């Protein structure tokens, strides 16, 4: 067994283990009543309406450029393709299988589409690449994440949220939610002279803007641990995963953790893609559903208990599948 295979195996298990401990912390805090249900709802709202927008504005102001977009176009196309194909496969599957709850079916399709494209893959890939390649790895991860972010906060909100009895104004408000507005706002301000330098803290920045960007950075540091703790609390309120129908768990694991990374790996084996980019594509394709699925479902009145339970089930399965895919990619490209 190659050294790169073992390194990928150990690193991915370590990162997933860290996330699992944070989820466990949130689970225990809710079960012991340290955090109550209404407080958890307020934390979800704070995360989606404040923390995630701060993160998106800062990330786009620091990194986005037309040159980077052009360089990472292949990564963007790959990510978009598997999201669209997963949506098509899930939609067809639940139209063929009778007897399901349409809202629950749509929620699971959303989970099939969008993986954890940033907060799990980024620390993993940085741990298995040399230091001089870290900036390139961050850029590649950012490019792969762009379609996931845009689709999660548009189509994903529609699929995961309660869609009945909404007025036209309410539907429009969901589309122009704080994360998607901040995402595009960050892209726009990245072209203002001095903003990128201020966001990066390098020469050429403007003092007032640097102060604002520093505050955004402080807030954005809460994102990953806070999301994991909230997910743990939501799992505590969702009940046992044993009650989740197999019509949801089995297709979700097969499509999200096996079929998508297998298809991406098979295509990349026959294309002249740079090894680091190919490894990142396989890693992101093999990642479990994004934590934001449960947050969006709770924020917009969807089936958050089902989504939270599925998050736990699929992340447990990912403890086995993700390290294997990463190790295969490291030893193949």
The enclosing domain of 223 has a CATH number of 1.20.1530.20
* Total count of domains within the chain: 1
Spatial distance between the Cα atoms of 93 and 141, rounded to a whole number of angstroms: 30
The pLDDT of residue 85: 95
Percent pLDDT > 70 in the chain is 90
> Across 3-131, where does the E strand assignment appear?
none
The pLDDT of residue 260: 96
Lowest mean pLDDT among 79-88, 160-169, 214-223: 160-169
Spatial distance between the Cα atoms of 133 and 129, rounded to a whole number of angstroms: 6
Percent pLDDT > 90 in the chain is 27
Q: Which residues on neighbouring strands pair with residue 115, listed in sequence order? A: 289
The dihedral over CA atoms of 193, 197, 200, 206, expressed in degrees to the nearest 10, equals -100
Spatial distance between the Cα atoms of 53 and 57, rounded to a whole number of angstroms: 6
Average confidence (pLDDT) over 267-295: 90
pTM: 0.79
The pLDDT of residue 4: 60
Query: Does residue 71 have a pLDDT over 90?
Result: no
Residue-averaged pLDDT of the chain: 84
What is the domain range of residue 126?
3-332
């Amino acid at each position: 067994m190659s050294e790169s295979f073992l390194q990928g195996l150990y690193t991915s298990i370590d990162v997933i283990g860290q996330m699992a401990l944070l989820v466990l912390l949130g689970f225990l805090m809710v079960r012991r009543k340290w955090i109550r249900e209404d407080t958890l709802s307020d934390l979800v709202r704070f995360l989606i309406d404040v923390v995630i927008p701060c993160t998106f504005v800062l990330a786009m102001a620091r990194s986005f450029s037309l040159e980077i977009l052009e360089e990472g176009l292949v990564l963007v196309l790959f990510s978009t393709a598997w999201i669209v194909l997963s949506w098509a496969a899930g939609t067809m599957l639940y139209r063929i299988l009778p007897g399901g709850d349409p809202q629950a079916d749509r929620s699971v399709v959303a989970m099939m589409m969008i993986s954890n494209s940033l907060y799990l893959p980024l620390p993993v890939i940085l741990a298995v690449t040399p230091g001089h390649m870290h900036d390139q790895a961050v850029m590649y991860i950012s490019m792969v994440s762009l379609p996931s972010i845009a689709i999660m906060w548009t189509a994903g909100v529609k699929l995961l949220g309660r869609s009945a009895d909404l007025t036209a104004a309410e539907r429009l408000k969901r589309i122009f939610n704080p994360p998607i507005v901040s995402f595009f706002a960050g892209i726009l301000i990245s072209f203002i002279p001095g903003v990128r330098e201020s966001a990066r803290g390098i020469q050429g920045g403007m003092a007032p803007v640097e102060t604002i960007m520093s505050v955004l950075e402080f807030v954005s540091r809460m994102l990953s641990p806070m999301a994991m703790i909230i997910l743990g609390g939501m799992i505590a309120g969702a009940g046992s995963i044993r009650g989740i129908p197999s019509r949801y768990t089995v297709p979700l694991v097969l499509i999200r953790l096996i079929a998508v990374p297998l298809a991406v790996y098979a295509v990349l084996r026959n294309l002249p893609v740079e090894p680091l980019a190919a490894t990142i594509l396989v890693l992101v394709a093999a990642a479990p559903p994004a934590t934001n699925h449960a947050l969006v479902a709770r924020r917009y009145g969807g089936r958050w208990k089902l989504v939270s339970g599925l998050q736990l089930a699929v992340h447990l399965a990912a403890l086995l599948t993700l390290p294997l895919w990463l190790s295969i990619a490291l030893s193949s490209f």
